[in-house]
Structure 1
Amino acid sequence: MKNIKHFFSFYFFASVFLGQFFSTTGVNNVTVPGDIIIGGLFPIHESVNVSIQEDGSDTRTCDRFSDARLVQSLIMVHAVEEVNKRNELGNLTLGLMILDSCSDVTTALRETLFFMKRNYGRWGTKEPSPPVLAVVGDYYSEISIAVTRQLNLEYIPQISYGSTSGLLSDKNRFPSFMRTVPEDDHQARAIIEILKNHQWTWVGVVTTDGDYGRYALERLKYYAAENNICFAFTSIIPDVLGDSKVKGRIEAIVKSITENQKVKVIVSFAKPYHMKYLFASLLKDPRGRENVWVASDNWSESRFVLGNWSLNDVGTVIGITLKTGNTTNFNQYLSNLDVNPDHHKNNSFLYKFLKEQQQENETSSNHDRALRLVKRSYPVDADDTANEVLIKRIYPYAVFSVELAVRAIAQAVADLCVNRDCKTKERLQPLEVRGALRKATFHMDGQNYKFDDRGDLNSGYDVILWRQDASTFVDVHYIVANYDIRNKTLNFTSPQAYQDVNNVTGNVTSRCSKTCKPGYRKQSSEVWPVCCYECHPCPVNHFSNTTDATQCQRCNTDTHYSSNASAICHRKQTVFLSWRDRYHIVLLAFTALGALLTLTVGIIFLARWNTPVVRASVGPICIILLFSLLSTFVSVILFGGKPSDWQCQARQVMFGLSFTLCISCIMVKSFKIILAFEFDPSIQRVLKKLYQPFIIIALCMVGQVLICALWLALKPPKPKWDSMEMLRLRSCNEKSFLAFGAMLGYNGILALICFGLAFKGRNLPRCYNDAKFITFSMLIYFICWIIFGPVYATVTGKYLPAVEMVVILLSAYGILFCLFFTKCYIILFKQEANTESAFRQEVRNHSLGEIQGLSALNLVSSSSSSEGLQNRALDLESSTSNPMKSDPPKPTISSSPQSFSICPDSNLLPTRLQNDHNVNTRDLRRYLSMPS
């Protein structure tokens, strides 16, 4: 029953297609017998001529015999022979049947029927034939798409060595299709990488109107949009050369190329013959020459497209080709090939080629021979032998792809037949082979390969550069780069290859707009594509460091700045009150001078320690005061230089504490003076008990120490960065202005107390007139620090610390000059005034002046005679002169600040004055007996 079913199926099928068989060139094939038969479908001819008969039927004649496609079919023959020679399948042998698709879908479908029905036996015989278990081919995607649908009816797997359309990766639609080349999606990526590397963003595209061309164009547009690459024009040529529209479309393409002079790069997915006709028309116009052509794998190794033109006329051709293989063994195979046509009658294509070659060799005239060769699709040199012609037509990618397809089938058969008798009893079926191919791991050239889930084998691409030597020979196999599909990167094979590419493409510009230089950004117009734009400068504090930047990047304004249209961000100059700054140097000079003067005063005072002037200044307190002034001058140094953590914290604290100590000492001096003017004896006794100089100083210091300690513990001053236009200021941030104000305010309160006390005691004798100088120094202090507030709040920049330095220096100098320079002047230059007698005389004169002033009022109102007044004056004069003639008692001099006194004792005053004027003499005695 099974045989009957097969019988009827066969004759039903044959009856439908029998007429088609007789109208085709089905007798043209390659047959090699074997236990396992694999088919081959190669476009041995590049086109067909269709003739319409009177009955409406058509007759198709294959035209334009292709030497290169013949060589590709021989690769399959050689691969099968290698498998059989090495006995890779044990007792099984591979056989093959190769048919010609004639680069035409309809012809290919008709030819494919031979594969599908072979398992029903040869026509006219009853002998069973081994079925075709797999088919290698076709090269063109349009043909493979149609053929694989037909082969899938019998579950026959198809392995293409050149069909790269991404549509074929859909296993729901094409479950029987596999290939040893990557799909065109990867080729589109590789082409985009080439365009990106050369910054070609305004390009033209030429493609054919078929499944391959449409899919390649769609993927190219997709990736071009991602990389801001635009197409100035997209031209589509009818896929069939015989189409009446081909000539008109080629003329339109020529017009697009010649009129778009900004377009210097054209990407082409056309077939070789399309490109040959395009160049033949385009290169007649000088405007169409010397462009860059990016060739797809369709024609990237087809040098015959140049026709009678040279590569220099065309320009530059950069091609994408499929992964190449080792051609050594195949070269040897072609070199040893028997060129006798009669020995290759099982290969009608090779027989035809060798027969024509034999006839050409017999032609006596080279001129006549050359005319015959012009009709060939691939012109050859007149002196080439048949073997040399075939070797020159080797495409390295085809050696790799075709051999790999045969290896895959052989491995699948080996996996299936390892434990079964596939030769006689358990013959293989196409469906089994298809499943085994999906799982097979096959080997070639030391590497392992395997089809992925979509039936693809992503081996990668090679990038080739066409080169023409001194003669007319054009090398179309010079590989300059490889495209890695996994990493999506383009890698040059060598530095020389990189240099060779740059030599021919370095000066080629294909852009809609001029390149935006660094410092500018692209601004696209709404009416133009993204590739046509204007260049706008980057604003201030923005930059662009690449050409054709889409946007300007913002500088880190804390550390960098940029001007208008800047390509980089400049680092801001760090500024602070530098040690080399001339203003800082001046302030440091005054600081050093103040410290030196302070030390000088201290030395002078220590050298004249026992003199009245020094003792009148309350010696020990005076030394502490000088030390505090020295510390104040030293604190000024900390306000300059590049601020650090310790410096920011130390400078304010050191100034605050040293100046507090200074004002505390001055307050003690002022307090001592005011005690002399308290008239109430009871209050005076209390104040005398409270007058403890060192305790007062210590208590004043404790308050300031507490303020500074809390400041440092809670919010200590820290360095900070202030960003300005082109500068970066390093300064100290006081952190807590409340603490800063409390420190200054505390000193201000102490200074105000000093001022009040000193102002009240300003009328003492000149030898005790520190109160006047204290008053004046405190006025200087108030004026300086009152001005400091608003100035410090408004001034910015590196000279802000200098403001405080100036105020501190003025305050310190005011105290130093007012309290010490007059005394130093007396000590050094008025030594006669720095004696005890001079001091006693000064006090005596002051007292006499006070007494005489009070007595005058009584003398005027009394009825005493002028003689009485004159006698009183004489008495006063005589009384005051007697002690000077005698040896007066010396004043008590003590180094203790509480018992220190430099004025003469009150007993030196005239007794009469003491009795007559109780009020004034009591005031003076109270001051003279006051603890110092």
Structure 2
Amino acid sequence: MKPYFGFYIFAAVLTARFVRVAGVPNATAPGDIIIGGLFPIHESVNVTLENDGSDKRICNRFSRARLVQSLILVEAVEEVNKRQELGNLTLGYHIVDSCSDVTTALINSRSFMSRNSTWTDGAEQPSPHALAVIGGYHSEISIAVTRLLNLEYIPQISYGSTSGLLSDKNRFPSFLRTVPEDDHQVRAIIDILKKHQWTWVGVVTTDGDYGRYAVERLQHHAKGKNICFAFIHIFPDVLNDNTLMEEITDTAKSIVKNKDVQVIVSFAKPYHMMYLFDRLLKDPEGRGRVWVASDNWSESAFVLKNWTLNDVGTVFGTTLKSGNTTRLKQYLRNLDANPDSHKNNSFLYNFLKRRQQQHVKRLKSNHKATKELERMIYPYAVFSIELAVRAIAQAVADLCVNRDCKTRQRLQPLELREALKRTTFQMDGKKYSFDENLDLNSGYDVTLWNQSSPTDVNVHYIVAHYSIENQTLTFTSEKTFQDVISVTGDVTSRCSNSCSPGFRRHSAPGQPVCCYTCRACPDNHYSNTSDSSECHRCNTTTQYSLPGSNECHLKKIVYLKWGNVYQITLLAFTALGALLTIVVGIIFLARWKTPVVRSSVGSICILLLFSLLSTFVSVILLGGKPNKLQCRTRQVLFGLSFTLSVSCILVKSFKIILAFEFDPGVQRVLKKLYQPYIIIAACMSGQVLICALWLTLKAPATKWDDEQNKHERLLYCHEKSFPAFGAMLSYIGVLAVICFGVAFKGRNLPQSYNDAKFITFGMLIYLICWIIFGPVYANVRGQYLPAVEMVVILISAYGILFCQFFTKCYIILFKQEANTESAFRQDVRNYSLGSIPDLENSTSSLRPEEIQNPAFSMETPMSNLQSIQPLTEQRPSVSSDVSSCSLSPVSNPQLMRMQNNHINKRPLRRYLSLQN
């Protein structure tokens, strides 16, 4: 961008006498309010040096489309006058040619500033010739001209200058426009590229304020959309620049070389694009690209020259808001084709004159010329120029509603400029006004060029609209969307292949973000879109993903399920144990009065069976999906039920202590303290206290374990307080150790009464299992951890069930001859007096008269035994009889030994005499 815009004004004033435009054409019409018009009716200018040292400027490359744009101004002014919208005021116009050149535009704009100004030393009339100017089209021309016009506060309304620089009202206070600034157009172009995923594109532009500003905004917005530019080529703005063709050649070579670049954005001017296409399309490798045209040339079909659209490829155009062309078409159709009818408009006069001469030679009608103009209508220009005329007319109407603007109180440019800032005007039933930057944000249309005939290209086929307010691009219909897809569906313009979902882009240092490699997302990360710049992390608490995943998967919830083969096996053993417990209870109840049941302390056995049944029930709670109630119940139920089991066994073991106590005083005290149910209640109260404190202070609860397996999520019961859990098990262990120690001492009782051996073995099984359980439970993790505890509980319960009851059930069911009173008497007799062979050997040496003491009868101890209850509630008479024996130890030594042996059997009698 050239910063010294003031230089243009200075140069125009300084060289006014040394520069002259050959045959300066214009178009004029009288009126009370003169509107100036500045149009690029010619696309370039040739400068030659005259003999007097002045520059002679000759405009060339006549543009029919720009001529039509000047006629839009003429038609709009005539329409206002015809409708008498300003009352007795009329509008006039004064149109000059900018020739698409800044210097020429400045020189020709002098005529707007003072009436009949000659820029000589003579006096100048103070009243400006034009109160407002419509134009120019190119931004660099408007930037220079508005500075010149601002010297006399003349407002300038542009219909095509979109550079964002002109929005600065501190620098350009007199500039207004009926089009949005280029930043919005660039956003629309970015939207087009993004919708088609074209991220590797080329850019061509001209070296002017418009082109450089547009490229700068394009680069700015592209960063946020991951769009990169393979190349940016800038053409000289002036067409007669000596380096223009060289730069166009280099650009064509660059396009051919970058085969991955299939989309090119162009902010260049129409003739620049015509030269570029003419050079590029000669090489077959340069054809078939997608071109995104700015409003500079988006409706200039002549850029194709002798080429067809099939050679060029696809052209998208961003155009300014389109207007209704019906009235203008009718105006052109009614236009007099006779050049002499338009001598006030030298542009139209010259055009019709040339066409007339050509038609005379070809013997054709001159009416073809107006048809030709009709084909050159740009809908955006119709909208923008008519809107500018409507704004001026409304501002004039607002100012002159209560004043005589025709004769005495004539309008001044400053008044009109300020009125334009405030005015609200209408066109086609819609209201418009300028924003704070004096811009009119009407939006953009997106067009798609199509070959309407072998020789004609339709450049006005609108496929989408871009809304500035919403910053969205929307297609006009489903048909237009399908038309776009049909021509662009296979076009790819990327530096690198697209990364599939599950991968992310990785750019090497120093490389554009569009040039990258695809890397798979790591564990527990995913990307669910193509070309993702990053991988998103899964919620590792509940989700996981494998490398290269495009989504997160829910972790499988694992626990010891009912359908698990291990769970089924353990439940089968649990059910079997519970069934056996019930069966044993039924057998005991059915044989309640038999010696086996009575000698086993029947009521305590029923309580023991109930506790075993509860223990088996607690095993069931260890399986299945854990919940809060289950976690709190399962360990407590096991602790209390097994404590009850061990307490019952402990009561039976205490009878052995009393059987071995020889001191009569201690014996009497222990017999008073032996209260079975009180002992059981005392033992249970300790465990109840431990469990109550556990549940109150730190109760077990469900917990998730996400660390064992990244694909699974373990749901388990967390004990929370392992000291409380350990205290519960240790309490049972202490009771079990006491049982084991006490029962071990009583292992030599008579076979019919001897539970001590089985208690010892049952408690030994329990202690071994739970000693092993401790370290295993502390180190094992996973869904099978509850199974470990289930196995230990089952072994412990089965150990007690087998050791305490199965031998007795076997006797009850299959050895009924041993479950009689006589069998129990014989067992006690054998234990009390020793085996039969020993007794015979002891008595054979005695003389008959020595053994006639009737008190030493072998039947005496059991003479009153009628049932098991007397055995256990009455003291046998053996001790009393023996104690009353009058044999002398000297005269009867053998008898004395028998007496001593009999005395050693007192513990059995004490055992039998204890209460149940």
Query: For the superposition of Structure 1 and Structure 2, which TM-score range results when normalised by the shorter chain?
Result: over 0.9
Secondary structure class of the residue paired with 2:340:
helix
Residue 91, structure 1, aligned to residue 88, structure 2: yes
CA separation of 1:59/1:907 partners in 2, compared to 1, >3 Å: closer, same or farther? same
Residue 764, structure 1, aligned to residue 749, structure 2: yes
1:527 to partner: Cα distance? 3.7
Residue 867 (structure 1) aligns with: 845
Letter of the structure 1 residue corresponding to residue 806 of structure 2: F
Using the TM superposition, name which of 527-536 and 869-878 deviates more.
869-878
Residue 142 (structure 2) aligns with: 144
Residue 820 (structure 1) aligns with: 805
Q: Distance in 1 between matches of 2:582 and 2:908?
A: 35
1:512-661 counterparts in 2 under 5 A?
512-661=495-644
Q: Distance in 1 between matches of 2:865 and 2:572?
A: 49
Secondary structure class of the residue paired with 1:906:
coil
Q: Distance in 2 between matches of 1:435 and 1:501?
A: 45
On the 8 A contact 1:850/1:920 being kept in 2, the answer is no
Residue 794 (structure 1) aligns with: 779
Match of 1:907 among 877, 882, 894: 877
On the 8 A contact 1:876/1:912 being kept in 2, the answer is no
Letter of the structure 2 residue corresponding to residue 461 of structure 1: Y
CA separation of 1:533/1:868 partners in 2, compared to 1, >3 Å: closer, same or farther? same
Residue 906 (structure 2) aligns with: 922
Query: TM-score, normalized by length of structure 2?
Result: 0.92
On the 8 A contact 2:865/2:871 being kept in 1, the answer is no
Residue 238 (structure 1) aligns with: 236
1:901 to partner: Cα distance? 5.4
Residue 184 (structure 2) aligns with: 186
1:461 to partner: Cα distance? 1.3
1:21 to partner: Cα distance? 7.3
Using the TM superposition, name which of 115-124 and 600-609 deviates more.
115-124
Match of 1:110 among 96, 99, 107: 107
1:296 to partner: Cα distance? 0.8
1:253-268 counterparts in 2 under 5 A?
253-268=251-266
Residue 880, structure 1, aligned to residue 858, structure 2: yes
Match of 2:275 among 274, 277, 281: 277
Q: Distance in 2 between matches of 1:547 and 1:279?
A: 34
Secondary structure class of the residue paired with 2:296:
coil
Residue 731, structure 1, aligned to residue 707, structure 2: no
Match of 1:81 among 55, 78, 102: 78
Q: Distance in 2 between matches of 1:836 and 1:601?
A: 22
Q: Distance in 2 between matches of 1:507 and 1:841?
A: 108
Residue 449, structure 1, aligned to residue 446, structure 2: no
Residue 414 (structure 1) aligns with: 397
Secondary structure class of the residue paired with 1:730:
strand
Residue 775, structure 1, aligned to residue 760, structure 2: yes
1:868 to partner: Cα distance? 2.0
On the 8 A contact 1:591/1:633 being kept in 2, the answer is yes
On the 8 A contact 2:875/2:910 being kept in 1, the answer is no
Return 5+ residue gaps in structure 1 as ranges: 1-11, 367-381, 860-864, 894-899
On the 8 A contact 1:204/1:263 being kept in 2, the answer is yes
Which whole-Å deviations, capped at 9, do the CAs of 1:180-238 have from their partners, x for residues lacking one?
11111222222222222222222111110111111111111122223222211111111
On the 8 A contact 1:46/1:103 being kept in 2, the answer is yes
CA separation of 1:16/1:226 partners in 2, compared to 1, >3 Å: closer, same or farther? closer
Which whole-Å deviations, capped at 9, do the CAs of 1:576-632 have from their partners, x for residues lacking one?
111111111111111111111111111111111111111122122111111111111
Residue 30, structure 1, aligned to residue 17, structure 2: no
Match of 1:69 among 63, 66, 69: 66
Which whole-Å deviations, capped at 9, do the CAs of 1:402-425 have from their partners, x for residues lacking one?
111111112221222222211111
Q: Distance in 2 between matches of 1:872 and 1:799?
A: 75
Residue 890 (structure 1) aligns with: 866
Q: Distance in 1 between matches of 2:710 and 2:171?
A: 66
Match of 1:710 among 693, 697, 711: 693
Residue 412 (structure 2) aligns with: 429
Residue 245 (structure 2) aligns with: 247
CA separation of 1:209/1:632 partners in 2, compared to 1, >3 Å: closer, same or farther? same
CA separation of 1:249/1:22 partners in 2, compared to 1, >3 Å: closer, same or farther? closer
Match of 1:299 among 291, 297, 300: 297
Residue 462 (structure 2) aligns with: 479
Q: Distance in 2 between matches of 1:302 and 1:901?
A: 128
1:488 to partner: Cα distance? 2.3
Match of 1:678 among 627, 652, 661: 661
1:85 to partner: Cα distance? 2.8
Which whole-Å deviations, capped at 9, do the CAs of 1:407-463 have from their partners, x for residues lacking one?
111222122222221111111111111111111122223322221222212222111
On the 8 A contact 2:612/2:797 being kept in 1, the answer is yes
Residue 168 (structure 1) aligns with: 166
Secondary structure class of the residue paired with 1:640:
coil
Q: Distance in 2 between matches of 1:845 and 1:571?
A: 73
1:910 to partner: Cα distance? 9.4
**Moved beyond 4 Å, runs of 4+:** 12-18, 119-130, 850-856, 869-878, 881-884, 900-905, 912-915
Which whole-Å deviations, capped at 9, do the CAs of 1:747-773 have from their partners, x for residues lacking one?
112212222222222221111111111
Q: Distance in 1 between matches of 2:516 and 2:853?
A: 115
Return 5+ residue gaps in structure 2 as ranges: 1-9, 886-898
Q: Distance in 1 between matches of 2:874 and 2:280?
A: 127
Identity across matched positions, percent = 67
Letter of the structure 2 residue corresponding to residue 477 of structure 1: H
Secondary structure class of the residue paired with 2:717:
strand
Residue 895 (structure 2) aligns with: none
On the 8 A contact 2:396/2:416 being kept in 1, the answer is yes
1:530 to partner: Cα distance? 2.2
Q: Distance in 2 between matches of 1:808 and 1:175?
A: 94
Q: Distance in 1 between matches of 2:559 and 2:769?
A: 24
On the 8 A contact 1:36/1:130 being kept in 2, the answer is no
Letter of the structure 1 residue corresponding to residue 622 of structure 2: F
1:84 to partner: Cα distance? 2.3
1:684 to partner: Cα distance? 2.1
Alignment coverage as a number of residue pairs: 890
Residue 6 (structure 1) aligns with: none
Secondary structure class of the residue paired with 1:190:
helix
Using the TM superposition, name which of 515-524 and 258-267 deviates more.
515-524
Using the TM superposition, name which of 592-601 and 473-482 deviates more.
473-482
CA separation of 1:215/1:30 partners in 2, compared to 1, >3 Å: closer, same or farther? same
Secondary structure class of the residue paired with 1:62:
strand
1:187-226 counterparts in 2 under 5 A?
187-226=185-224
Using the TM superposition, name which of 152-161 and 733-742 deviates more.
733-742
Secondary structure class of the residue paired with 2:788:
helix
On the 8 A contact 2:872/2:914 being kept in 1, the answer is no
Residue 375 (structure 1) aligns with: none
1:847 to partner: Cα distance? 0.9
Residue 862 (structure 1) aligns with: none
Letter of the structure 2 residue corresponding to residue 797 of structure 1: G
1:345-356 counterparts in 2 under 5 A?
345-356=343-354
Letter of the structure 2 residue corresponding to residue 906 of structure 1: P
CA separation of 1:654/1:873 partners in 2, compared to 1, >3 Å: closer, same or farther? farther
Letter of the structure 1 residue corresponding to residue 39 of structure 2: F
CA separation of 1:587/1:870 partners in 2, compared to 1, >3 Å: closer, same or farther? farther
Q: Distance in 1 between matches of 2:380 and 2:448?
A: 15
On the 8 A contact 2:20/2:56 being kept in 1, the answer is no
Residue 931, structure 1, aligned to residue 909, structure 2: no
On the 8 A contact 1:265/1:292 being kept in 2, the answer is yes
